[in-house]
Structure formats: C-alpha cells, structure tokens
Amino acid sequence: MRSPLIMVAVPDPGTIGPTEMGKLSALARALDSQIELFHCIQGVEVSRPRLAAPRGAEEDIHRAVERHRRGLEALAERMRAGGLRVRTSVRWDHPAFAGIVRQVQRHEPSLLIAHPTQGHGARHFFGRTDFRLIETCPCPVLFIKTRRPYTDSVVVAAVDPARAHGKPAALDAQILGWAARLRDALRAKLFLFHAHAALDQAMEVAPELREAPEEIRADVAAAWRNSLEGAVLALAQEYAVPRQRIHFAESSAPEALARYARDVIADIVVMGAATRSGLARVLIRHTAQRVFDALDCDVLIVKPPGFRSSVSPHSTHHVRRSFAPAPSPIWR
C-alpha cells in the first residue's frame, strides 16, 4: 500500500523559504505522507501561440521546464536531507489553476498545498488562481497564508448544519473529519465555530414567516436557533470537542469567523466549499472572498463527497517530446 501523497503547488522555488519548508515538512511527517513539488508553467506561448513559431516556442518551453525542474530539485534535495520522500514535476499548461487541477487528477493526492495569490476587489478575486482552485480542485486545498510554524497549534472547524445556500449535508462531516485529522496529527487544539442569523435563516426555509406577527417570528427564530445549536453540539460530541471550545455567533457576517479565529489565535481554519450556478454562485463567491481575505491564518478548503471537477483531465496544450531533456529521477 502506497503512502498518502501531499502535492505542493509551487509558484516559484524561491517563494519557499525555511519557514514554509518547515511547515510542509511538519505536515508530511504528521500525516505520514510523501511530497510532490509541482510547478505549472504558463506563458505568452500558451495563451497566444501565434506570437512564436511552433519549433521556437517548443524549445523555449522545454528550456523553461528544465530550468524550473532544477530549481524544484534543489528545494527537494534539502527536504530529502531531512528524511522526507520528495519528487518534483513541472508541466506547461494554461491557465495555471487548470494545470494544477489536472496534475491532481493524474496523481490523486490526499491534499494540495498552495499559496494564495495577491489582489484586491471582487472582480480580481473571482479570477485568482486560489479561488479557481477552491471551485474546481477535487481534493482538499490548504492555503498557506502565514509563516507561523505549527507548534501548539489551534485548528478551527467552521460548520453549518443549517446548510446555507443549499450546502450538502455531508460536508460538515468532511470538514470535521479533516479538522480532527489535523488535530491528531499536529497535536493541536480543535475548536468548533458556527455562525447563524436565526430569523433570516428561518424565513429562508419558510418565507411565509415574513407576513407573520413579530412575536411569532421571534418564537420561530428561537426554535430554529435551538435546533442549530443542538446539531452543532451533536457534531462536537461525535468528534470529541469539549463544550468550552464551541462558539456560536448569531450573525451572518463572514467577518465573525475571522474575529473568532483571531481571538483563539487559530493556525488553520477548516471550511467547506460547494459549487453552484447562476446568481447563487455569485453570492457564494462574494461571501468566500470576504471570508478568505479576512482570515489571518492558513485555510483548508474541503469539498463534499462525490465532488466532480469541471476541469477536463486532458490539456489542449501540447509540445513534441523530441525536444525534451532526459528525465530526472522521480523518487530518491
């Protein structure tokens, strides 16, 4: 039986410093996993192939692949010296998020680690590689947002038994399953967070409440709140989370999670992502932008069971192998 695989999407070998390498090494050892360092090359030849002759473009691409491979190998050697099993891969594809997802589909890692891209504003966020990975990557994605090492770690699981926006019911189990796995692997403390706007959610389920007298709406909201808290407490009991580490925020504001994460000095927040279409997709994207950018810690995104990526496993970008350099060793 092969060991689990952690894939690391490396934007550039120079971006992985000693602190980041320490976090990657700690996770690989804690999860008893092998590591693949992967870099996706995309360039002007990919998006506008007519700017260069085919042979010249292929030669340039192969040179770039080999240059990045050498950079990844140098990084891998330092990790191998610490006793880790590390392999490297470089591919040319476009856009970058699709190339990363295709590599995930080929090798089926248990976890993808990525660095969030920079940018401000909703329009930019919707096109960012990180958000496209959130939407399309079939395996959990851990975004490394800070350089804090994983020592005396705190993991926060953000659950939603109300299943806002039609979120699949099984997603909470996936969130808590990964949160508990990180808790055990890193010897961390696990906290449980749930935010709800009781009246708003009750009226979403039963729109006729909008016409009901205020006292009736208040009673329904209280009953709805009690049912949600009961569901969260049941989840906590199943995953051995003590009552003092459970937090209820009566708010629909995404910033409530960021405030709580700061209060408990969270190292990792585990959240779920479900894909939708049309207006619901736009609303979820806007919420995701606010939550993701507000969190000052690493973020693990998990998908519901049975998730299928919209990215085709077959790339339309190809170069002839006749120019390729001799392959480097995969495992050492």
- pLDDT tens for 136-174 read 999 999 999 998 999 999 999 999 886 655 556 688 999
Average pLDDT over residues 79-108: 93
**Tens digits of per-residue pLDDT, 179-235?**
999 999 999 999 999 987 655 655 665 565 566 666 666 777 777 778 888 889 999
Q: 85: which residues sit within 8 A by CB, 6+ positions away? A: 3, 34, 35, 331, 332
Contact 70, 39 (CB under 8 A): no
Cα separation, 255 vs 244, in Å, equals 21
Q: Which CATH number fits domain 146-307: 3.90.850.10, 3.40.50.12370, 3.40.50.2300, 3.40.50.720?
A: 3.40.50.12370
Contact 178, 270 (CB under 8 A): yes
The backbone torsions φ and ψ at residue 194, rounded to the nearest 5 degrees and listed phi first, read: -145, 130
Q: What is the architecture, at CATH level 2, of domain 1-138?
A: 3-Layer(aba) Sandwich (3.40)
The per-residue pLDDT for 1 is 53
pTM of the shown model: 0.83
Q: Where does the chain hold its CATH 3.40.50.12370 domain(s)?
A: 146-307
Q: Which amino acid is at 106?
A: R
Q: 199: which residues sit within 8 A by CB, 6+ positions away? A: 217, 218, 220, 221, 224
Say which DSSP state 82 is in.
T
Between 127 and 34, the more confident residue is 34
The per-residue pLDDT for 123 is 41
The per-residue pLDDT for 158 is 93
Q: Where does the chain hold its CATH 3.40.50.620 domain(s)?
A: 1-138
- Report the DSSP beta bridge partners of residue 90: 39
Q: How confident is the model at residue 331 (pLDDT cuts 50, 70, 90)?
A: very low
Tokens 């260069």 -> residue:
52
Contact 279, 225 (CB under 8 A): no
Cα separation, 112 vs 8, in Å, equals 6
Contact 242, 189 (CB under 8 A): no
